[in-house]
């Protein structure tokens, strides 16, 4: 039977711990007991962990032998996908965050778009901690070696700041307006033609898509516009499909 994987909050030598709500889920919901074994991701490797002490806000493990490849080696070989995801209705946006994490996205940047609802933009800054929990839980559920980074919300033009995206990354913005037009370029075709790229950045707009001025900005800053086909997908569906296509192309 495959052991469940947990991503440690604390690691000291041969001891690791889950703390706070992370520990409470294991202790209260799953009713773990001293002596149970799990796979523990420690930052550089995955090790067998045996529970030594347990309470509602802290679970400690004695770490044993390594399990498989080191996380460092896995990260070096894994495709890198950055998802710049415009802020939209939180329940659907968070579903996209969860599923893109399960698929294998490396980084998620929530973006304040012109068509993002003002009250959602105001509330987004307070959701960052919740989003971090979502990606950690999704990473553990899908047995990833580590959760993706999830940035604090930023304005669109911040994507052009130095260090936000890798200098050599292939940058693709999804545009509904291209679907079915003579200028339509399909994401799959662009990815296949640029399969040598080390990293891909994908930008997915809110419901209603990116505004015309935003698409102009993308064009002026070196992003390639693409569609996912003739169908107009909801934002969360587009994010998931685009992530899957990019990972397949990079592999």
pLDDT at position 143? 85
Tell me: do 62 and 87 sit in the same domain: no
pLDDT at position 76? 43
pLDDT in tens, 194-214: 766 778 999 999 988 999 999
Tell me: do 104 and 82 sit in the same domain: yes
pLDDT at position 229? 82
Q: Which two tokens stand for residue 222?
A: 């070196």
Task: Read off the pTM.
Answer: 0.81
Tell me: do 95 and 142 sit in the same domain: yes
CA angle, corner 222, sides to 205 and 200, nearest 5?
65
Which domain, by its residues, includes 156? 78-250
pLDDT at position 3? 79
pLDDT at position 1? 55
Distance, in Å, from the CA atom of 10 to the CA atom of 181, rounded to the nearest integer, reads 52
Distance, in Å, from the CA atom of 154 to the CA atom of 85, rounded to the nearest integer, reads 10
pLDDT in tens, 168-196: 889 999 987 655 555 578 888 898 887 66
Tell me: do 44 and 164 sit in the same domain: no
CATH of the domain at 178: 3.40.1280.10
Q: Which two tokens stand for residue 32?
A: 């773990």
pLDDT at position 91? 96
Distance, in Å, from the CA atom of 69 to the CA atom of 80, rounded to the nearest integer, reads 18
Tell me: do 199 and 179 sit in the same domain: yes
pLDDT in tens, 105-161: 999 999 999 999 999 999 999 999 999 999 999 998 888 888 999 999 999 999 999
Count of the separate structural domains present in the chain: 2
Higher pLDDT, 220 or 194: 220
CA 235 to chain centre: 15
pLDDT at position 103? 93
Q: Which two tokens stand for residue 118?
A: 């003002």
pLDDT at position 25? 87
């Amino acid at each position: 039977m495959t052991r469940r994987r947990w991503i440690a909050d604390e690691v000291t030598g041969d001891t690791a711990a889950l703390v706070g709500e992370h520990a409470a889920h294991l202790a209260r919901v799953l009713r773990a007991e001293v002596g149970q074994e799990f796979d523990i991701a420690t930052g550089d490797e995955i090790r067998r962990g045996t529970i030594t002490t347990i309470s509602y806000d802290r679970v400690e493990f004695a770490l044993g032998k390594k399990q498989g490849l080191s996380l460092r080696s896995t990260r070096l070989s894994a495709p890198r996908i950055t998802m710049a995801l415009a802020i939209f209705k939180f329940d659907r946006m968070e579903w996209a965050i969860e599923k893109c994490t399960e698929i294998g996205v490396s980084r998620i940047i929530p973006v304040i778009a012109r068509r993002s609802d003002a009250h959602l933009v105001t509330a987004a800054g307070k959701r960052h901690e919740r989003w971090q929990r979502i990606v950690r839980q999704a990473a553990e559920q899908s047995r990833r070696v580590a959760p993706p980074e999830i940035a604090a919300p930023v304005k669109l033009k911040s994507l052009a700041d130095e260090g936000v995206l890798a200098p050599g990354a292939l940058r693709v913005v999804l545009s509904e307006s291209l679907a079915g037009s003579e200028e339509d370029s399909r994401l799959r075709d662009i990815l296949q033609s640029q399969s040598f790229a080390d990293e891909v950045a994908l930008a997915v707009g809110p419901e209603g898509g990116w505004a015309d001025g935003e698409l102009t900005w993308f064009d002026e800053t070196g992003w390639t516009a693409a569609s996912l086909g003739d169908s107009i997908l909801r934002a969360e569906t587009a994010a998931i499909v685009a992530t899957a296509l990019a990972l397949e192309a990079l592999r």
